[in-house]
Structure formats: structure tokens, C-alpha cells
Amino acid sequence: MKLLIVLLVGIILYFLVSLIYKRFWHKGLNISVEFENDMVREGDDNNLIEKISNDKVLPISILQIRFALPKVFKFAEVKKSSAVTDQIYRSDYFSVLPYQKVTRYYPFKCTKRGCYQLASIDVFGMDFFISKARRMTLKTPRLMYVLPKPIHDMSVPENIDNVMSSIKEEGEDRKCVVLLNTELNSMSRADELVEDGVRIADYFVERCYKDNIPVKFFTNGIDMITGEECKLDAVSDVDDKNSLQKTIARIDVTKSPRAFKHILGDAERLDDGSTDFVVISNNRKSDFVKQLDEFIAKGHSVKLIIPEFKEVDITPYEDDKEKIVKWVVEND
């Protein structure tokens, strides 16, 4: 009889605890997954931060947090409580006591330029008896921008100083418009050439900002967030500069760009006679050459930067050290 009573009490207790967990396991449970820095450079280290706060008397025996991460985030180590699969899903496990706060840091390296979103988190909680997992999904529209890899001074052509000097010497009221053409001259090692074009555009934005030259940016490259062409108005302070560089980070070079002649047409309307155009283009096919020649013939001041491998010439152009500069792309 006593055994039966004990069994009955156990069954009642089991269902009572299960009911309590069903109704209250997520109450007072605050979970956040965020990046320590939301804007870094390609090749920089960052931290993924997981924060758990259980603001109630009810413990959670096993709490699992599961979310997707891009493969280009290379984690320094895999903890015993963590797993990163080939499908770029990460699962981390916690045991959370009443009124406990837990914070974990996971270092990783940002290996590729882009804009990355941590869209949602799946949370699974086990009850006291570890008999049933309950699930909730948290929406966390967090973005992290990986800006292009910084270009070191040693890899900058000497002639670039001539380009910047010629802009500054033309007057204090000069403005710079950076035009990036993501069309290529050939498809050989296209990814390297396009990415270096993006890095060069970022370099000019940074350089103009340091030299107190107002700068705007236009490209036929597609914004991976909006699906439209990337562009941004003049930079006047650090917030503007950050916004412009975030725009550059979002360029999706996998999508077909619009013909560059349309970008020249849009940019032409910005010239009030005090504008210098820095055109960055690996493409130098006949259509592009004709369009740029027509643009220059209208009286616009143009500096042409051609990213190209060392062993490849820049025909039909020649490096004239001031208005046309070959920017040597290092072979990976």
C-alpha cells in the first residue's frame, strides 16, 4: 500500500512539475546572442557573446541555444558545450539555476567582407526530470558589417599620392566622387579583382576623409540588403564615413551589375565644376573606353584607377602617374 502511495505521489509530482514547466519555463528567461563589435575589418577577430538571465525560482536543467552562422566566421576553438556543424549551425548548452546570469564569449575571425545577419535563435528548455524539451524562437535582427581588408601603405602605388595631391591642389572647395565599376575585363580570377576594386574604393573613402575632402560613392554593384545599387552621399563626419563604409561592405559581387554607363550618367548630374571623379575599373573593354572618353570630353575631371595583376598590361591605357594609375593586385 505504501509503495502504491509513493508511486501515486510520484506520478502526481511528475505531472505537476511538467505543468509548471510548461507554463513558466520561459518566464523571466532573457537570452541574447550578439557580436561584441558590429563593424570590423576583414581578417579581424571578434567575439560572439551569449547572455542568459533566469529571473525566477524555477531552474532549467538543460537549456539549448541553436542558431545559424556563416561559414566565413572561423571560431578559434570549439568548447565542450558547443558544436559547429558543416551546415553552419551552432548549438550551445547551459544548466541555469534560479536567478542566475551566465555570459559566454566565443572568439572568431572574420574572414570575408560582407554584411551578416543573425536573424533568429531557437531555444530549447528541459524540465526538472529532463523528460521533455520545450521550444521558443527569438527574433534577433542583428547585423554585423565586415569592412574590406585594409590596404597597407606598402601596397599603395606611389602615384596615388599624385592623384590625391592633384585633387587638393585644385582648390579647397573640391569634392571627390568615387565610382566603382564591378564589371570585369575578363573572368580570369574575377573574385580577386572585384574584391580588390572594393578595397580600393574603401581606401579612397578613408583617404578623402582624412584629407578633409568631401566624398560621395556610386557603384553598379548590388546592395546585398536592398537589392539596389549601392550609393551614398557626401561624408562630413565619422558617422557618415561609417555609413559609407557599411554600404561598401554590402556590395554583392555575385550579382550581375547594371551597365556602368548608367552610373556615369547619374554621377554627371553631381558635377558643379568643382568635382573630381575617381573611377575604379578593371574593365577596359571598348564600350567602357568609349563611355569614359565621352564623359571626359564633356569637361569632367577624371582619375582612372585600374586594378590588375602585375603580369597583365592595362591596354588600351598607359599609366601616366597622375590621371591613369595601374593598381597592382597581389596574387593570392
For residue range 81-140, list pLDDT tens digits in order.
455 444 578 889 999 999 999 999 999 999 999 999 888 899 998 876 666 678 888 887
- Judgement on whether residues 162 and 212 belong to the same structural domain of the protein: yes
In terms of DSSP bridges, do strands 175-181 and 133-147 run parallel, antiparallel, or are they unpaired? unpaired
Number of Cβ atoms within 10 Å of the Cβ of 122: 15
- Is residue 19 a part of any domain in this protein? no
In a domain, 159, yes or no: yes
Q: State phi, psi for 261 to the nearest 5 degrees.
A: -60, -30
| Residue at which a domain ends, from 112, 147, 182 | 147
Query: Are the beta carbons of 68 and 38 closer than 8 angstroms?
Result: no
Mean pLDDT of 12-39: 81
Regarding whether 37 and 54 lie in a shared domain, the answer is yes
Find the mean pLDDT for residues 249-277: 86
Of the candidates 278, 143, 266, 254, the one whose C-alpha atom is nearest the C-alpha of residue 202 is 278
212 and 159 inside one domain: yes
- C-alpha grid cell for residue 104? 559566454
Phi, psi (rounded to 5 degrees) for 87: -85, 15
CATH code for position 285:
3.40.50.410
Co-location of 272 and 167 in the same domain: yes
Q: Residue 105 domain-assigned?
A: yes
Helix, strand, coil percentages (3-state) for the chain, rounded to 5, are 25, 40, 35
Report the CATH number that the domain containing residue 122 is assigned in CATH.
Answer: 2.60.40.10
Average pLDDT, the chain: 84
**Region of residue 70 (phi > 0: left; psi between -120 and 50: alpha; otherwise: beta):** beta
Please tell me whether residues 141 and 181 are part of one structural domain. Answer: no
CB 200 within 8 A of CB 192: no
Give domain status of residue 5, yes or no.
Answer: no
DSSP string for 160-176? HHHHHHHHHHT-TT-EE
pLDDT digits (tens, 9 = 90+) for 211-225: 888 888 999 999 998
How many domains does the chain fold into?
Answer: 2
Q: Which residue has the higher pLDDT, 158 or 172?
A: 158
199 domain-assigned: yes
* Whether residue 273 sits in one domain with residue 142: no
* Residue 23, domain member (yes or no): no
Asked if 296 contacts 308 with a C-beta cutoff of 8 angstroms, the reply is no
Q: Does 6 fall in a domain?
A: no
Same domain, 136 and 240: no
In a domain, 275, yes or no: yes
Condensed to tens digits (0 to 9), the pLDDT of residues 189-241 reads 777 888 999 999 999 988 888 888 888 899 999 999 888 888 776 655 667 88
Helix ranges restricted to H, 170-268? 190-210, 238-249, 260-268
Q: Output the CA torsion 189→266→179→239 (10° steps).
A: -120
Same domain, 166 and 303: yes
Same domain, 126 and 223: no
Residues 165 and 276 reside in one and the same domain: yes
Residue with cell 573611377: 279
**Whether residue 193 sits in one domain with residue 110:** no
**Domain final residue, candidates 125, 147, 169:** 147
End-of-domain residue from the set 96, 124, 147: 147
Distance CA 279, CA 201 (A): 9
Residues 195, 59 share a domain: no
**Domain of 168?**
153-329
Residues 6+ away with beta carbon under 8 Å from 183: 220, 257, 259, 260, 281, 282, 283, 288
Distance CA 231, CA 218 (A): 5
The predicted structure's pLDDT at residue 14: 62
